[in-house]
Structure 1
Amino acid sequence: MTTPVIELSGVSRRFEAGPAALDDVSLTVHPGESVAILGPSGSGKSTLLNLVAGLDRPSTGTVTVDGVRVDRLGEAGSARYRRAKIGMVFQFFNLLDDLTVTDNVTLPAELCGTERTRARHRAAELLEALGIAQHAQAYPGRLSGGERQRVAVARALMNRPPLLLADEPTGALDSASGEEVKALFNDLRDDGQTIVTVTHDLTLARACATRTVRIVDGRIAADLPMEATR
């Protein structure tokens, strides 16, 4: 059995008032899996993603990603962890409008101290692989939603992270752009990239996931291979 990329054990996240956002969640994700996290608004999906990304800490339990105890990291350690281990794709792209596509993509590498020529070569490879090399010197505001999300994915993959996290990656897109992104995530899955996607979009899960995890009221209500979800 391969070593898990993600291992959550007895994880809860409680805030001062109200019920737990996550309540005693245990979850394991192995290399090459593409897991869709499903559930209604307020169910704890985004809280789970934030804990895995090191953007939040559990109240109880442990979070281990690619051998790193994320729940033990301080602020500086969490930032280093995200640069080395995590690629993140957001609903609203989070691209910098005053930077070109290439400069947006190379930013994570520059933050890690990668030599500029090497970083730009890696960016060119990614843009070519994702079908947007012709936009390398364009600014994000001139691209379609689907193209901007491809730029965001290229940026997320820049440092070759073992884990890609996506938060509603089709949520801000029209139907045509959404189909482009579904095809892209399907290709990433087929290439063996480990992916965890939080989504309301069941068609995205059906297109891209090998497994679905449904969260209700902070607890895992179902954890099924994709074939059982269809």
Structure 2
Amino acid sequence: MSEAVIELHEVTRQYDEGPPALRKLTLTVNRGDSVAILGPSGSGKSTLLNLIAGLDRPTSGTVTVAGAEVHTLGEAAAARYRRSHIGMVFQFFNLLDDLTVLDNVLLPAQLAGVRGGEARSRAARLLTTLGIDRHSGAYPGRLSGGERQRVAVARALINQPALLLADEPTGALDTASGIEVQNLLKELHAGGQTILMVTHDMALAEACATRTIHLVDGQVSADTLTDSRS
């Protein structure tokens, strides 16, 4: 029986007086899934990602990720939850330009209290696996977009998260760099990483996702199993 990593039950998120961003959304993602969330602007994709990451709380309903009841967490507990369970990759990398590649990757481990030797060993393995070990002493501004996104992925994986969240991971990249990141996400999923990505990039979804979920007006309009092995 598959183990659920993400469980949302009857989740609604209401902002002000307008229509809800999400309305009574129920969703389960199992360990080892690679899921693409698709939908037009305003469909609730970013809200969904923020709720799963513990950056926002539902108006009603429950959000459970890797056994953590995320909807109950205060700010400090939510930060600890993200360090322990979640890796996040953003459209614009969010790297610190005044830190080297290695120090960017090490930062989440240091914040989580991982011992220095273990953190550096993990970072070295990740940088080698992702093909950017030669850039460990460089600063992000010297790297291509694809290389910077690889650094961001290494940073997201340093604490060995149960779940990798990716918010438009190819959105700021040229075609060649986008394909590079697409292949990287495929490799990570093949290695067993659970991935949830929000994207407008149909090529990325078709190449990387084993399941695509379409949101419209805060509700699931389609939930389709796919084959991303080709």
TM class by shorter-chain length?
Answer: over 0.9
How far apart are the structure 1 equivalents of 2:44 and 2:112? 31
Partner of 1:144: 144
How far apart are the structure 2 equivalents of 1:15 and 1:125? 43
Kindly indicate whether the alpha-carbon contact (under 8 Å) linking 2:105 and 2:155 is maintained by their aligned counterparts in 1: yes
Segments of 4+ moved more than 4 angstroms: none
Please state if 1:104 is matched with 2:104: yes
In the TM superposition, what are the counterparts of 1:23-172 in structure 2 within 5 Å?
Answer: 23-172=23-172
Aligned length: 229
Summarize deviations over 1:109-158 as a string: whole Å, max 9, x none. Answer: 00011111221111010000000010000000000000000000000000
How far apart are the structure 2 equivalents of 1:227 and 1:114? 37
Q: Over aligned residues, Cα RMSD in angstroms? A: 1.2
Structure 1: gaps spanning 5 or more residues: none
How far apart are the structure 1 equivalents of 2:194 and 2:27? 14
User: Any idea what SS the aligned residue of 2:184 has?
Assistant: helix
How far apart are the structure 2 equivalents of 1:2 and 1:68? 18
Summarize deviations over 1:45-82 as a string: whole Å, max 9, x none. Answer: 00000000000000010000011100000001000000
How far apart are the structure 2 equivalents of 1:2 and 1:42? 32
Q: Post-superposition shift, 1:227?
A: 4.2
Kindly indicate whether the alpha-carbon contact (under 8 Å) linking 2:44 and 2:218 is maintained by their aligned counterparts in 1: yes
Q: Which amino acid is 1:32 matched to?
A: G
Q: Which amino acid is 2:95 matched to?
A: L
User: Any idea what SS the aligned residue of 2:214 has?
Assistant: strand
Q: Which amino acid is 1:133 matched to?
A: D
How far apart are the structure 1 equivalents of 2:22 and 2:224? 19
- Output the TM-score relative to the length of structure 2: 0.98
Partner of 1:21: 21
Q: Post-superposition shift, 1:3?
A: 2.5
Q: Post-superposition shift, 1:217?
A: 0.7
How far apart are the structure 1 equivalents of 2:4 and 2:52? 13
- Output the TM-score relative to the length of structure 1: 0.98
In the TM superposition, what are the counterparts of 1:181-192 in structure 2 within 5 Å?
Answer: 181-192=181-192
Summarize deviations over 1:140-189 as a string: whole Å, max 9, x none. Answer: 00000000000000000000000000000000000010000000000011
User: Any idea what SS the aligned residue of 1:5 has?
Assistant: strand
How far apart are the structure 2 equivalents of 1:114 and 1:13? 35
Q: Post-superposition shift, 1:2?
A: 2.6
How far apart are the structure 1 equivalents of 2:191 and 2:227? 20
Q: Which amino acid is 1:216 matched to?
A: V
How far apart are the structure 2 equivalents of 1:214 and 1:188? 23
Partner of 1:11: 11
The percent of aligned pairs where both chains have the same amino acid is 67
Partner of 2:199: 199
How far apart are the structure 2 equivalents of 1:32 and 1:117? 29
How far apart are the structure 2 equivalents of 1:18 and 1:199? 24
Q: Which amino acid is 2:106 matched to?
A: T
Q: Which amino acid is 1:84 matched to?
A: S
